[in-house]
Structure 1
Amino acid sequence: MLLKVKNTFTKSTSNHFKNISKHASNLQENNLAIKLLNARQYEIIKIGYEDDGLIAKFGIDERECDERKELLLGPDDIYIKPLEELTGCFVIVNWNTDTVIATGLFEGLKLVRMIVEECIVCKIPAVDIINKIRTRGAGALLW
């Protein structure tokens, strides 16, 4: 059983393994999957066209889908490292399942979710959001 606390899941038993491994199954490096499985708190953010995905939820056109995903990652995935440094979370973007998986402390997970939603929904590059938070604090996301 998973205990849900403000969109963040805490580690339990076999369901924890099933939930993480479902989204991490396509990861090529085993150490990434092990790091996710050992996490105490994690966040799985669906961004695609599945049930609760951000693109489906907000009716984003298919043509803009890839462009908005690129805003999150940047060229050659260069925005992931600054995102991890800012939030203190380990972040993986899996395009096979259209999910962003983050592990870390609750406050960092909240910040990861807010940044991902701003990128996908509002069409703002992640680097701009990260820089704004660094200069003005987390309250700066309340545009």
Structure 2
Amino acid sequence: MLHLKLSFHDYISIFVHQTDLTLTNHIKNRLAPYNLAPEQNLIMMLLWEKDGLNQSEIAEELNKEKSNIARMIFNLEQKGFIWRESIKNDRRSLRVYLTDEGKKLGNHVIPLTEEFNELVCQGISNEELMEVRRILSKMCANVQ
């Protein structure tokens, strides 16, 4: 019989993963009425902050493969939330813009996202949040 060095519950990576699943499932349910998946919402949040990003900028900001971003952008375009425009002199590069419907969607989803962030951070001080960010950044750096 094999033995783990640590107990299942002692692996911090498993705890972080389970926390992410819990948070993602909660926001997934909140976004469902708006026909928006959590990962698609990340793209929309970037565009609500700065419209007209190109696909590479979005991929870099979200730390995702360009092919995954392209697929999500295609789906958001099919839903009528965004539109793409080719950049002159570079046919491979596209800028992504919000449609009027995508802008209106922000009126509903941005407050929901802010409420979710408040819920997640409830009872946690700014110092503790900064420590969480610092530690999670270290963990990411350890595996990169």
TM-score, length of structure 1 as denominator length = 0.27
When you count helix as a share of all residues, which structure comes out higher? 2
Q: Which has the larger radius of gyration?
A: 2
Higher relative contact order, structure no. (Cα contacts within 8 Å, ≥ 6 residues apart): 1
TM-score, length of structure 2 as denominator length = 0.27
